[in-house]
Amino acid sequence: MDRNELCNLLTLFLVSVVVVNTDLGDVFPMSLFSTLAYLVALLVMILVPAYLFADGIVDIQELIRSSSDGSRE
């Protein structure tokens, strides 16, 4: 994962934390979509760490695979 993608994911995660902790029912345009925004923010809070964890596992597997391929030569 490149640095730009990581920064975008972390920004998305932090925005979702703010949305979950903010009462959007008081602001008129968001009052219509507050439940939807809350559900999307919860999904983001679950999926972003899972994506980062899975990407880390793939990177570790690639390192192990490349180090084992290099030792055979």
Over residues 6-57, the pLDDT tens digits come to 999 999 999 999 988 987 777 767 677 888 888 999 999 999 999 999 999 9
Does residue 72 surpass a pLDDT of 70?
A: no
pTM over 0.95: no
CB atoms within 10 A of CB 16: 21
Q: How many domains does the chain fold into?
A: 1
Which residue range is the domain that position 56 belongs to?
3-72
Instruction: Provide CB contacts within 8 A for 16, sequence distance 6+.
Output: 40, 41, 42, 44, 45, 48
